[in-house]
Structure 1
Amino acid sequence: MLLKKYVKTRRKVKILLLVTIVALIVITCIILLGSSGPNGSTIERLLDERFIARAYQPQSEQLQQPKEQAVALLQPHRENGVIVPEKYDEHKIKARIMQNRLQQVKQQQRDNEAEQSRTTVDALTTAVHIFYTAPVPWYKSKKPPLPQPEHPNEVALPLTTPKPVKILNTAFYPALGLYKPSAKLLGQHFENIRNCGIGVIILSFVRPSDPALLHQILELAPQHNLSVTFELSVAGNRTLDFVRQQLQEIAAYVDLPGFYHVYSQSRAALLPVLYVSNAYKLSESLGRQLCRPTAQELAEQLNVPKNVGGLRRVLDALFIGHIRLKSHADVLRRLCFDGFYSKLPSNGAVFASTWKNWSYLKSYALSYKMLFVPTVGPGFAERNKFPRHGDIQRHRSNGRYYGVAWRTAILNHVGFINIASYNNWPDGSQIEEVVPRAGFLDYNPGSRTKYLDLTAHWVGNFLKTRQEAASAAAGAVLNCYELLNNTIC
């Protein structure tokens, strides 16, 4: 009744609503100002600060320092309710820098101790091969950008042709610097490879090659109980005469003591092993030249010179071709290759490099009496703006990527495994030592020999698995592609 008595006009209603709103605003401000005082922290905020203190404080310090003191460290210094920024203290900054330097020195000492106690494998296995690059192409040419025009509607034409600029073509920086092949350097590299338990080095044979360097490597490798084989690069536009000439040049190295051979049961002879890059690009007419001649064809070719006829007349070897797609395995089977390998250490990039497909490729190879050689690698970091194979960069994930590749290959009971590279720095698939440097990737956390140690570990596991499989199948007929005495079908 009282409200009806005083609220009879629209004007009085508006005044009453306005007074109510003002009263609510005043009450809200009083509540907020009261809660923002030094002792007005809510329980929820206090719990959040305690959680942050526990999350960012070492466990040993958590046990020693009370919770209230840890929370107090997170509270900013206030004066009259205003946050006061922390003052610059030169002594604290210098102390922090000295502490960081001491930590770096301690880390270097730990790395040196880790290098002295490196993981090594006493036994060598010729079933593990590794790609080796000599010399390493450290630089690549890049065209400089054209000058910008003075006016937006004009086209800038250079007065002279700009010279290409050489830039460093590696995502990591080697511990030995930008080296060139020498007897001392090769000996150091071969010693590291031998300590990993690897028995065979794969060299890229590209014409024109350096005969002196190849002879030097083939002479030094046996001194470290290593063997050497070649990888030919054959593109689809190569003629039969070009491939024949390559094999003729390689035939001069095959009889050297350092060249890698395997014993073939079907041929009853020691045969060299040759890898053929881009083998899936070979045409039918060129590839069929790798087929072994029949007895009648051998009789007809007795009086024919070796530069006429099939390629195996020039050099009879175990040819392992590079594949990418699922259909390439069948292509190489029809082209009379003895086996195939994946080469690209990038999981999921193509069918052959995908780990889950290795089981299929292994069974396909056994079905047609061929050899499947998976390629494992610690990662892939090709430093090109437009990579040749697309966006297939693979992070090393602190060695876990390398471990999964090895584990997959071992579980498939393959006879041979090849490692992407020892020192292919342009592709970023190397296991050689690196040093931290500004603008480059490194192996942290861990020592600079981290991937050499991991390689030795996985080669040891591979040897152990093969020996256990041979012991379990004692007295039974073993698969000739998994024998331990360097013998294949």
Structure 2
Amino acid sequence: MLLKKYVKTRRKVKILLLVTIVALIVITCIILLGSSSATSGSNVERLLDERFIARAYQPQSEQQQQQQQPRDVAAALLQPQREHGVIVPEKYDEQKIKSRIMQNRLQQLKQQQQRDAEAEQARTTLDALATAVHIFYTAPVPWYKSKKPPLPAPEHPNEVALPLTTPKPVKILNTAFYPALGLYKPSAKLLGQHFENIRSCGIGVLILSYSKPTDPALLHQIIELAPQHNLSVTFELSVAGNRTVEYLRQQLQDIATYVELPGFYRVWSQSRAALMPVLYVSNAYKLSESLGRQMCHITALSKPPGKEEAGGLRSVLDAFFIGHIRLKSHADVLRRLCFDGFYSKLPSNGAVFASTWKNWSYLKSYALSYKMLFVPTVGPGFAERNKFPRHGDIQRHRSNGRYYGVAWRTAILNHVGFISIASYNNWPDGSQIEEVVPRAGFLDYNPGSKTKYLDLTAHWVGNFLKTRQEAAGVAQNCYELLNNTIC
């Protein structure tokens, strides 16, 4: 309406169009001048970005030359390559990328080896040996376990799949860590290397599992080689509730042939005025019904007339028998069976009563009350590589060595006579302190060197020795095993 009001003649229409064109020309000029000034600033920023990109994508020598070139040359380097007027994208050289990744990986491995070598040279070692510190040693290590393959799926949901032939069990690697020495087998060189590592930790006694079938030649080799490294050897008998007294008697008869060897561990008994071997008995609490009082000492009053030679198991082999317990009541069971002591064996805090650290004070007091020995078992952790562990949920993370340290500290503060370590090389249980190597699919000791737990063991054995030396001036019970003497 306004347009019709003011524009009624042709002359006024022409004037209005002319004013509109002039206004558009003025606005266009203003916009162009503003964009030119902004472009000049952005060109500088873009040029700086291009120089940075050129330096990043050029080799070092070319980078040094590029720093001396002017901005226009830097911008020219980023001119896209063209073929027939079409921009050709930069080619992705996969081989160069892989080569660079491999070189970086090799460099990292060299640095890790250098750090391990430095850690090996700076290892914590002890010159003194603690014969009251025992360690479980496995020879040979059962690296593999058998696993049944799964049954084939049935064709129809309501049918049961029955294999035509019995599937053969498959062997799988049964360890959560990978050893630095590989999947080794016992040899004189390997045993010497292991024994030297154990001796450098200050440990004085090896505990070998004795269960049939076993290799007598290997046992003789270990017992003869151990004294060359200032080590002694003792056995852990393996029994169960379904074993008879005759089975245990036969085991003791076989062990009696090893006891007289110089490398077998013995302590001085004040009451018997003789050197007595120390033997561990696994699952001893299961022998309550079948064993009776076969472990009790035979006195002149208790011998039946005319049967002086008849008697219990100590007539076959007299020793300090230390039995394995799990529950609180098992300590009383072994006391009634005339065992000389008990040990916890499982290095998993909270799994059972005996392996729980806060219960060790009670077990120590109970042992002293009945003139027995309590041997706590410490370990760096527990990692069975089973989907459903045979003992339940007893996996224990190493927590960068802190788990190991708390176990040691608790045992030392309770002033126990013996301490057993589980273990040097029990790889299936994941409780080893032996060196490991990082490998895909396996756990390792990072952060830290491969000898991390050997160093920690030497540290805590040194603390144990220091505590015993400080307590030597105080009146101690002879069951503290000072000077390798027992009641």
Scaled by the length of structure 1, the TM-score of the pair is 0.78
Query: Which of 410, 415, 434 is matched with 1:408 structurally?
Result: 410
- Please tell me whether residue 196 in structure 1 is matched to residue 201 in structure 2: yes
One-letter identity of the residue aligned with 1:240: V
> Does the aligned pair in 2 maintain the 1:284–1:335 contact within 8 Å?
no
Structure 2 residue 175 is matched with structure 1 residue 157: no
Contact in 1 for aligned 2:418/2:481 (Cα 8 Å): no
CA distance in 2, matches of 1:187, 1:179: 13
CA distance in 2, matches of 1:362, 1:303: 36
Deviation at 1:99, TM superposition (A): 4.4
Q: 2:389 aligns with which of 383, 387, 390?
A: 387
Taking the aligned partners of 2:464 and 2:160, their CA distance within structure 1 comes to 62
Aligned position for 1:465 = 467
Alpha-carbon distance between aligned partners in 2 of 1:102 and 1:378, rounded to the nearest angstrom: 31
Report if aligned partners of 1:287, 1:336 keep a CA contact under 8 Å in 2. no
Select the structure of larger CA radius of gyration.
2
In structure 2, the CA distance between the partners of 1:302 and 1:385, relative to structure 1 (3 Å rule), is same
Cα deviation 1:7-26 (Å, max 9, x = unaligned): xxxxxxxxxxxxxxxxxxxx
Partner of 2:29: none
Q: Which amino acid aligns with 2:168?
A: K
Residue 314 (structure 2) aligns with: 312
Partner of 2:482: 484
Against the structure 1 CA distance between its residues 125 and 88, is the aligned structure 2 distance closer, same or farther, given a 3 Å change threshold? same
Residue equivalent to 1:444: 446
- Cα deviation for residue 483 of structure 1 reads 3.9
Query: What is residue 298 of structure 2 aligned with on the other side?
Result: 293
Measure the CA separation in 2 of the matches of 1:332 and 1:303.
Answer: 25
Determine whether 1:103 maps to 2:103. no
- Taking the aligned partners of 1:232 and 1:300, their CA distance within structure 2 comes to 32
- Kept in 2: contact 1:196–1:453 (CA 8 A): yes
The equivalent of 2:62 in structure 1 is none
| Deviation at residue 100 of structure 1 after TM alignment | 5.2
Q: Does 2:367 correspond to 1:369?
A: no
Distance in 1 (CA, whole Å) between partners of 2:149 and 2:422 is: 32
- Please name the residue that 1:345 is paired with: 347
Q: Any idea what SS the aligned residue of 1:202 has?
A: strand
Cα distance change of structure 1 residues 127 and 301 upon mapping to structure 2, 3 Å threshold? farther
Any idea what the Cα deviations from partners look like across 1:315-356, whole Å, max 9, x if unmatched? 000000000001111111111000000000000000000000
Look up the SS of the partner of 1:282 in the other structure: helix
Unaligned 5+ residue runs, structure 1?
A: 1-86
Which position in structure 2 is the counterpart of 1:4? none
Give the C-alpha shift of residue 297 in structure 1.
3.4
CA shift, 1:484, in A, is 2.7
Q: Is the CA contact 2:241–2:290 (under 8 Å) kept in the aligned structure 1? A: no
Residue 331 and residue 191 in structure 1: after superposition, are their counterparts in 2 closer, same or farther (change >3 A)? same
Counterpart for residue 114 of structure 1:
119
Q: How far apart, CA to CA, are the structure 2 residues paired with 1:327 and 1:438?
A: 44
Distance 2:179 2:384 in 1: 15
| Aligned residue among 159, 176, 193 for 1:171 | 176
Distance 1:285 1:213 in 2: 31
Deviation string, structure 1 residues 39-93 (Cα, Å, up to 9, x no partner): xxxxxxxxxxxxxxxxxxxxxxxxxxxxxxxxxxxxxxxxxxxxxxxx9997889
Matched, 1:328 2:330: yes
- What are the residue-to-residue correspondences of 1:60-71 with 2, within 5 Å? none
The alpha-carbon distance between structure 1 residues 95 and 224, as it changes in their structure 2 partners (threshold 3 A), is same
TM-score, normalising length: structure 2: 0.78
Structure 2: where are the runs of 5+ without partners? 1-90
Whether the 8 Å CA contact 2:207–2:235 is kept in 1: the answer is yes
- Structure 2 residue aligned with 1:430: 432
The SS at the match of 1:159 is coil
| 8 Å Cα contact 2:379-2:407 kept in structure 1 | yes
Structure 2 CA distance for aligned equivalents of residues 487 and 303 of structure 1 = 29
The letter for the 1-side match of 2:187 is S
Q: CA deviation at 1:296?
A: 2.4
Q: CA deviation at 1:155?
A: 1.9
Confirm or deny: 8 A CA contact 1:346 1:392 kept in the other structure.
Answer: yes
* Pair 1:93–1:183, CA change in 2 (3 A): closer
Q: Relative to 1, partners in 2 of residues 1:483 and 1:320: Cα closer, same or farther, differing over 3 Å?
A: closer
Question: 1-side partners of 2:282 and 2:421: how far apart?
Answer: 15
Identity %: 85
Deviations 1:203-234 (A, max 9, x none): 00001221111110110001111000000011
* Residue matched to 1:52: none
Give the C-alpha shift of residue 103 in structure 1: 3.4
